[in-house]
Amino acid sequence: MNSPPTPSTVTLRTITKMARERRPFACLTCYDATTARWLERAGVHVLLVGDTAAEMVLGLPSTIHMPLDVLIALTAGVKRGAPRTLVMADMPFMSYQVSQDEALRNAGRFMTEGLADVVKIEADASHAPLVERMARAGVPICGHVGSKPQQAGLTGGYSSAGRTPSEAARVVEDAVALERAGAVMLLVEAVPESVTSRILEETSVPLIGIGAGPACHGQVLVLQDLLGITERPPVFAEPLAQMGHQLQKVAEEWVRRVSERIVTGHRFEVRVEGAASAVRPSIR
């Protein structure tokens, strides 16, 4: 049976209804308006402007280097490119950990300057008071539990979570605490499917998964991993294309044409107007 068509505008209410009706929703990361436009046309329900932009866009060594102001600007660009799609902003490292006042101010900037519909933070149960305060202020929060890339420095690199009974219980407790504090969505990363099942049993808000099994209400991947243009995608990200090679081929063909002075497309001619000559400018 075909899934019901996606509404013309996707809101938090849309996602909540889809989760309640067990209709999976699709999420992808996105960092620019042009790409957002095409992903919206494809029917992607949620676009996450992740702090992975540090690596994917800026070429920085890890997500912790993502500048706050840049990510706010990228979020706004994505929303302008996909105005009918739910856009989730990722609060970068040290944008919400210093103090609750600063965290609330920065989250508000993502909504006003960044045009975000939802704001995501990597959190555990200790962040419940912050989430509660943000919710009271009207900021829709997605709590990110499980593996937390911003804390990779504590373990010497990226790693999975919830693989021992005590770790699994902690991840579930974090998810429950964040929902009780007012989180409107949850995201769980790189955990065993049994942990995902327990979160689904003990929470009621939409749950997005990445490397957490197929049972989640929604699934997200880094777009560049899906397109096959990253050098080393994570083990849970199966590319659906190899667009890196295609991009290289197109660029190589362009280099060849330029070297051989092959110019295609419309050519502008000199037009005489009275006694004067002028070249009509190129108009896009």
Point out the residues that are catalytic.
Answer: 189
The C-alpha atoms of residue 62 and residue 155 are separated, in whole angstroms, by 14
> What burial class does residue 201 get, using C-beta atoms within 10 Å of its C-beta: 0-12 exposed, 13-18 middle, 19+ buried?
exposed
Extract the tokens encoding 247.
Answer: 């991009």
CA distance 47 to 75: 9
C-alpha distances out from residue 2 to 6, 14, 206, Å: 11, 18, 21
Integer angstrom CA distances of residue 87 from 10, 120, 133, 250 = 9, 11, 22, 31
Rg (CA), the chain: 22
Please give the structure tokens belonging to residue 34.
């042009």
Smallest CA-to-CA distance from 151 within 110, 97, 205 is with 97
Burial of 158 (0-12, 13-18, 19+ CB in 10 A): middle
- What number of other Cβ atoms are within 10 A of residue 21's Cβ? 10
DSSP E strand stretches across 76-235: 86-90, 118-122, 141-146, 185-189, 207-210, 218-221
270 CB-near residues (< 8 Å, 6+ apart): 277, 278, 279
